[in-house]
Structure 1
Amino acid sequence: MQDPLPPAAAAMSPDDLLLAVGRARDRAAFAALFGHFAPRLKAYLRRLGADAQGAEELVQEVMLLVWRRAETFDPAQASAATWVFTIARNRRIDALRREQRPEIDPDDPALVPDPVEPADRTLETAQDSGRLRAAIRALPPEQAELLRMAYFEDKPHSAIAVERGLPLGTVKSRLRLALDRLRKALRDPS
């Protein structure tokens, strides 16, 4: 069971209790302050949208800040209640910001850079790309254009047929011929 508060602390106003904590680190005054504000803060934080556990944790944080910063309280500027509830509101805002901006996980695959490709592989890729471009240039212009539309512009065969005014079967057969020629050209590096 909790020790009862000294009668002097129980009779003091919240402003006087906060001043006693700030000036003399009076534990009995802080206990009375805690007993007065903790349930009110929890209800206030719940109205601001905090869940029960979150509100409880925020009350603990707020009251710890009250203990640490009590010497900065100035009754000429605000009442103890205004001062304490302002701290609570600010801590709630901080908590919401933390929830909306989660910490970055350095091991997140999206943040890990792609591995550097070995120089020989880079050279090989460049050579393959050059051979492919040369093979496409060697195609008849109409087949090269159909390839460009189908594979580089990602157009469906039916859209190409409409755009070119060709039957769908003709578009497909010309693309098949173009791909066969490319395969042969890339297989035979003459």
Structure 2
Amino acid sequence: MTGPPDTPDRDALNAWVSGCANKDRTAFARLFAHFAPRIKNYLKRLATDDAAAEDMTQEVMLTIWRKAELFDPRQASASTWIFRIARNRRIDAARRAAKPALDPEEPLLQPTAETAPDDAAHAGEREARVREALKALPGEQVVLLRLAFFDGLSHTEIAEREGLPLGTVKSRLRLAFDKLRGGLDADDI
């Protein structure tokens, strides 16, 4: 590589990165002096403001120091490897910026309200009444109710699983609901 006298050649750049892998601070200082301004200018050309470009440059240089042992000169030159790190850092920053911030007032992010003691007692009583009403149903209707509401199967899936015609499944479920309605108060359903 030819260039101005202060421009190191490819072998020197590779040696500096190898020095960083061995935690050679002098090699890192040379690498930093050479690449930091170039990385910052590169990031600014990618529509990054000056402060963000400065921060990302620091992050890139820190990544180089920490990950220098991953550099393989057979796969890419030191410049290519370093600018790829900078490019990836910029992409990561753009992705983070594109994500919407979480709204702390979002109902799904709020803790669930504690159940009032009287509501819990009523729910327990209602559950006991429903259990008793289920005991009064014929076994085949209870099986179909469990498949539909506890296992979440559709009428068609229940018919296939139980080997029954679809109309039979529907009529048994309807009969079960009618019997449950007759045995429970309107508040229980």
The one-letter amino acid of 2:137's match is L
Paired position in structure 1 for 2:96: 99
Secondary structure of 2:184's counterpart equals: helix
Paired position in structure 2 for 1:56: 50
Once the 2 structures are TM-superposed, how far is the Cα of residue 99 of structure 1 from its aligned partner? 2.2
TM-score, L = length of structure 1: 0.52
Question: Is the 8 Å Cα contact of residues 44 and 50 (structure 2) preserved in structure 1?
Answer: no
Number of residues of Structure 1 aligned to a counterpart in Structure 2: 132
Is 1:149 matched with 2:152? no
Question: Is the 8 Å Cα contact of residues 136 and 182 (structure 1) preserved in structure 2?
Answer: yes
Once the 2 structures are TM-superposed, how far is the Cα of residue 136 of structure 1 from its aligned partner? 0.9
Structure 2 distance, partners of 1:139, 1:62, is 69
Secondary structure of 1:187's counterpart equals: coil
- For structure 2, the residue ranges without an aligned partner over 5 or more in a row are 1-5, 7-34, 59-81
Larger mean Cα displacement after TM superposition, 102-111 or 120-129: 102-111
Larger radius of gyration: 1
- Describe the shift of the 1:42–1:165 C-alpha distance in structure 2 as closer, same or farther (beyond 3 A): same
Q: Percent identity?
A: 42
Structure 2 residue corresponding to 1:116, chosen from 90, 114, 117: 114
- For structure 1, the residue ranges without an aligned partner over 5 or more in a row are 1-12, 14-36, 66-84
Larger mean Cα displacement after TM superposition, 99-108 or 158-167: 99-108
Secondary structure of 2:109's counterpart equals: coil
Paired position in structure 2 for 1:164: 162
- Describe the shift of the 1:122–1:97 C-alpha distance in structure 2 as closer, same or farther (beyond 3 A): farther
The one-letter amino acid of 2:51's match is E
CA RMSD across the alignment: 4.4
Secondary structure of 2:114's counterpart equals: coil
* Deviation readout 1:116-151 (Å, 9 max, x if unpaired): 121111111111111111111211111111111111
